[in-house]
Chain A
Amino acid sequence: MDVERKDWVRALTAHPVSRLNATADQLAAVCTVRLTRLPQAGLGLLSLIDGALHESYYLGEFPLSTCSVELAFPDGRQAEGGAQVMADDAELARSLAIFDAILAARLPGWEQVAELVTSGALQRGAENGRRRAMLAATRVDFALLSDADEDTDEY
Chain B
Amino acid sequence: MSYVAIKGGGRAIAAAAAAAEYLRTAEGLLNTVAEPLAIDAILHQLRHLVDRVIAEGGVYHPQFAALAIKQSLGDTLEAAFVLRAWRSTRPRLAATPALDSSRMRLIRRISSAFKEIPGGQMLGPTPDYALRLLRLELMDESPEAFRAIARNWLQNYPEAQLPDTFPKVLDALRRESLLPPISPPHGATPFDITREPLVFPVPRSAVLATLARAETGSLLAIAYSNMRGYGDVHPTVAELRVGYLPVLLPHPVTGELTEVGEALITECEVVAMYEADNTSDKPTFTVGYGACFGHNEVKAISMAILDRALRKGMQNGPSNPSEDPEFVLLHVDGVDSMGFAAHYKMPHYVTFQSDMDRLRATQRKSEEPV
- Residues of A at under 8 Å CB distance from B? 5-10, 13, 37, 40-64, 66, 68, 80-88, 97, 100, 104, 128-144
| A54 to B100 CA separation, bound complex (whole angstroms) | 9
A51/B122 in contact, CB under 8 A: no
Residues of B within 8 A of A104 (CB): 253
Among B37-45, B152-160, B313-321, the stretch that binds chain A is B152-160
B208/A49 in contact, CB under 8 A: no
Tell me the smallest distance from the CB of B240 to a CB of chain A, in Å.
11
| Residue among A9, A84, A135 making CB contact with B122, cutoff 8 Å | A135
Please list 9 pairs of residues, one from A and one from B, whose beta carbons are closer than 8 Å in the complex, sorted by A's number.
A5-B258, A42-B91, A43-B92, A44-B93, A53-B289, A130-B157, A134-B107, A135-B160, A136-B158
| A87 to B247 CA separation, bound complex (whole angstroms) | 12
Residues of B within 8 A of A144 (CB): 115
Total residue contacts A-B, CB cutoff 8 A: 246
Tell me the smallest distance from the CB of A5 to a CB of chain B, in Å.
7
Most buried by B among A37, A40, A49, A134: A134
| A66 to B205 CA separation, bound complex (whole angstroms) | 27
| A76 to B264 CA separation, bound complex (whole angstroms) | 44
Q: Which residue of B lies closest to A126 (CB)?
A: B154
Tell me the smallest distance from the CB of A144 to a CB of chain B, in Å.
7
| Residue among B54, B101, B120, B209 making CB contact with A58, cutoff 8 Å | B209
Q: Which residue of B lies closest to A37 (CB)?
A: B252
Q: Which residue of A lies closest to B57 (CB)?
A: A60
Residues of A within 8 A of B157 (CB): 130, 133-134, 137
Tell me the smallest distance from the CB of B45 to a CB of chain A, in Å.
18
| Residue among B193, B204, B292 making CB contact with A55, cutoff 8 Å | B204
Tell me the smallest distance from the CB of A66 to a CB of chain B, in Å.
6
Q: Which residue of B lies closest to A45 (CB)?
A: B95
Contact with A along B95-111 (1 / 0, CB 8 A): 11111111001111100
| Residue among A6, A49, A141 making CB contact with B251, cutoff 8 Å | A6
| Residue among A13, A37, A58, A60 making CB contact with B205, cutoff 8 Å | A58
A42/B90 in contact, CB under 8 A: yes
B87/A61 in contact, CB under 8 A: yes
B99/A48 in contact, CB under 8 A: yes
Tell me the smallest distance from the CB of B212 to a CB of chain A, in Å.
5
Further contacts, 13 of them, CB under 8 A, given A47-B97, A88-B64: A5-B254, A6-B259, A45-B96, A47-B95, A52-B287, A53-B182, A54-B182, A56-B185, A56-B205, A88-B61, A129-B159, A131-B244, A138-B108
B269/A51 in contact, CB under 8 A: yes
| A128 to B265 CA separation, bound complex (whole angstroms) | 16
| A103 to B303 CA separation, bound complex (whole angstroms) | 45
B58/A61 in contact, CB under 8 A: yes
| A134 to B92 CA separation, bound complex (whole angstroms) | 36
Residues of A within 8 A of B213 (CB): 60
| A35 to B220 CA separation, bound complex (whole angstroms) | 49
3 shortest A-B CB distances, which residue pairs?
Answer: A86-B261, A82-B252, A136-B160
Tell me the smallest distance from the CB of B226 to a CB of chain A, in Å.
17
| A8 to B254 CA separation, bound complex (whole angstroms) | 13
B160/A58 in contact, CB under 8 A: no
Q: Which residue of B lies closest to A60 (CB)?
A: B58
A44/B95 in contact, CB under 8 A: yes
A68/B252 in contact, CB under 8 A: yes
Given contacts A64-B94, A130-B154, contact A52 B253 (CB under 8 A): no
A52/B93 in contact, CB under 8 A: no
| A55 to B205 CA separation, bound complex (whole angstroms) | 8
B99/A51 in contact, CB under 8 A: no
